[in-house]
Amino acid sequence: MSKINWDEIIKWDEKYLIHTWSSKEEYHCLPIESTEGDYLIMPDGTRLLDFFNQLYCVNAGQKNPKVIAGIKEALDRYGFLWDAYTSDYKARAAKMIIEDVLGPDKWAKKVRFANSGGEAAEIACIFARLFTGKPIIATREYSYHGYTAGATSVTAMLPAKSALSRLEKTAYRSVPGYSVAPTMVVPAPFCYRCSIGHTYPECKSKGDKLPCILATERLIRNKGLDQVGAIITETIHGASTIHPPDEYIPQLRQLTRELGLVWIVDEILVGCGRTGSWFAYQKYNVVPDIMLVAKGIVNSQIPAAAVIVNEEIADFIDSHRWNHVSTFSGHPIAMAAICANLEYMLEHNLPEKARISGEYLGKRLKELEAKHKSVGLVVGSGQLWQVEMVKNKKTGEPIIAEDRNSDFTGDQHNWPNKTVMYKAIEKGVLMGGFVPNTLRIGASLEVSNEDIDKAVAALDYALDFVDAMAD
């Protein structure tokens, strides 16, 4: 029996907190008393299996004991140091990232720590603009890089730019004047519904480069290579959940080299083992110029993020005074958590564990693809899988027509991602997706096959209800 007065807590939660993603009328408090491994435990003892892995960020499992021990040790030694001072944890965290984790790739030279992924995106954009002296950063359709103003300026997902929406379709309001930094949007490698009208893999036969790469090149050249200095890309789109075709990332890297662009790779969601390698870019035999990490770098047990840069950019910054500060960056407790988390991930080879558990998860999801008429596509690896739910399996027509262009106004109860969420929770499993027709499925990197079976059974049950929306 819980010692906490949850009735009182729920009252305070509803009365005093500003909530996101739902209006006051729609808000529903979900009280969680504790967390453990892949489970959230409710005040009445109900155990919910979390196939959201919260925000795909608790890679080494809830309350990882090694990270807890690292944080406790640091709490006994430090209160606070700002960035002008060095704790052993901060220097060691940087060394571990550059040498122990990224050493074999031979591109990463230096690290700047930050407090959140969005803040890391801000810093990466600052570095790219200072280094190149060019204002425009290219980004891609449906991208998400964080909610702060600079990160939002390179975010191309309509609802993820801190806009207001409501049940009434007319209620949409974006933040006036928010995305002020100069950016441009180029096509996403979304082959399932190509926004420039091509069909994969037939589009490959038209030449050496994919049409989306050619369009990216054309749009950037049209803006002017004296204006565009960098491109920022999630290796795999996380929020909008899009896996690129195999050729895309190598061709994009080639293009950045041809055009002399800095390539900023956002691995905040897909990095730190999530897709079965340390970083998703490694699957493509390429290396970035700048990389962003957060979430899994610290197992989300405390806030921390990092921007990692190549030698040229590190040398450029080092040759100046960079007048920049954030009170909490490099916080000793967060740095201790990164060290402990990376030690755990290295000792237990978590990326490899994710690769293996992902093979099993993928096999089970493919069974559902064969069984359910509403499942049009299953693609992924490790603990990050994309499931597209469709009206028509042959044409791939989406159930909710706006798909990834939705502004999140209107009634979302009939969205397939929400249907899956409501139905799966009846079976004790949390799962769903951010955009209307898509599920984004993944647990911690050490999830058991037994829990995968439980999640797949819940999804099987939920998809029967989505099938009713399909032809």
Contacting residue, 53, 64, 87, 116, with ligand PLP by CB under 6 A: 116
Q: Does 387 bind ligand PLP (CB under 6 A)?
A: no
Q: Comparing C-alpha atoms, which of 258, 267, 240, 251 is closest to residue 121?
A: 267
176 beta partners: none
Segments in 57-158 forming alpha helices (H): 65-77, 88-95, 117-132, 149-153
Report the chain's terminal Cα–Cα distance, integer Å. 48
Give the shortest CB-160-to-ligand PLP separation in angstroms.
Answer: 9
**Is residue 121 a contact residue for ligand PLP (CB under 6 A)?**
yes
Q: Residues 66, 112, 134, 145: which binds ligand PLP (CB under 6 A)?
A: 145
Say if CB 301 and CB 274 are below 8 A apart. no
| C-beta of 162 vs 349, nearer to ligand PLP | 162
- Tell me how far, at minimum, the Cβ of 142 lies from ligand PLP, in Å: 11
Cβ neighbors of 425 (< 8 A, separation 6 or more) are: 48
Q: Which stretch binds ligand PLP (CB under 6 A): 82-90, 142-150, 177-185, 188-196?
A: 142-150
Give 17 or 401: the residue with its C-beta nearer to ligand PLP.
Answer: 17
Least distance CB 242 / ligand PLP (angstroms):
12
**Residue type for 318, please?**
D
117 binds ligand PLP (CB under 6 A): yes
Closer to ligand PLP at the Cβ: 87 or 152? 152
Task: Look at the block and give the residue holding tokens 């999630």.
Answer: 234
Question: Is residue 382 within the footprint of ligand PLP (CB under 6 A)?
Answer: no
Q: Which of 361, 384, 435, 438 is CA-nearest to residue 271?
A: 384
According to the binding rule CB under 6 A, does residue 457 interact with ligand PLP?
no
- The string of DSSP letters for 352-386 reads HHHHHHHHHHHHHHHHHHHH-TTEEEEEEETTEEE
Q: Considering beta carbons, is residue 286 or 375 the nearer one to ligand PLP?
A: 286
φ and ψ at 143, to 5 degrees?
A: -80, 155
Compute how many other C-beta atoms are within 10 angstroms of the C-beta atom of residue 69. 13
Cβ distance to ligand PLP smaller for residue 159 or 238? 238
Instruction: Candidates 238, 244, 276, 288: give the one binding ligand PLP (CB under 6 A).
Output: 238
Sheet (strand 47-50) strand order: 34-36, 39-41, 47-50, 429-430
Q: Determine the interface stretch with ligand PLP among 111-119, 175-183, 279-287, 322-330 (rule: CB under 6 A).
A: 111-119
Distance of alpha carbon 317 from alpha carbon 428, whole angstroms: 50
**DSSP SS3 for 165:** coil
Choice from 10, 55, 158, 259 touching ligand PLP (CB under 6 A): 55
Q: What is the DSSP letter of 289?
A: S
Instruction: Return the number of the residue (145 or 243) whose C-beta is nearest ligand PLP.
Output: 145
Does residue 24 sit in helix, strand or coil? coil
Range 274-313, binding ligand PLP (CB under 6 A): 294
* Non-local CB neighbours of 387 within 8 Å, separated by 6+ positions: 365, 368, 369, 375, 377, 378, 433, 438, 439, 441
59 binds ligand PLP (CB under 6 A): no
Count Cβ atoms below 10 Å from residue 451 Cβ, excluding itself. Answer: 21
The reply on whether position 268 binds ligand PLP by CB under 6 A is yes
Q: Are 5 and 418 in contact (CB under 8 A)?
A: no
Which of 269, 308, 384, 430 binds ligand PLP (CB under 6 A)? It is: 269
Binding test (CB under 6 A) with ligand PLP, winner from 70, 146, 159, 436: 146
Stretch that binds ligand PLP, among 85-93, 112-120, 242-250, 361-369 (CB under 6 A): 112-120
CA distance 313 to 464: 52
Report the nearest approach of ligand PLP to the CB of residue 411 (Å). 25
In the complex, what is the shortest distance from the CB of residue 440 to ligand PLP, in angstroms, rounded to a whole number?
10
149 is an interface residue for ligand PLP by CB under 6 A: no
**To which residue do tokens 């770098």 refer?**
297
Subset of 63-102 contacting ligand PLP (CB under 6 A): none
Sole window of 138-146, 365-373, 398-406, 460-468 interacting with ligand PLP (rule: CB under 6 A): 138-146
Closest CB to ligand PLP among 282 and 374? 282
| Region binding ligand PLP by CB under 6 A among candidate stretches 69-77, 252-260, 263-271, 368-376 | 263-271
Which positions from 5 through 44 interact with ligand PLP, judged by CB under 6 A?
A: none
Tell me which residues touch ligand PLP (CB under 6 A).
55, 116-118, 121, 144-146, 234, 238-239, 266, 268-269, 294
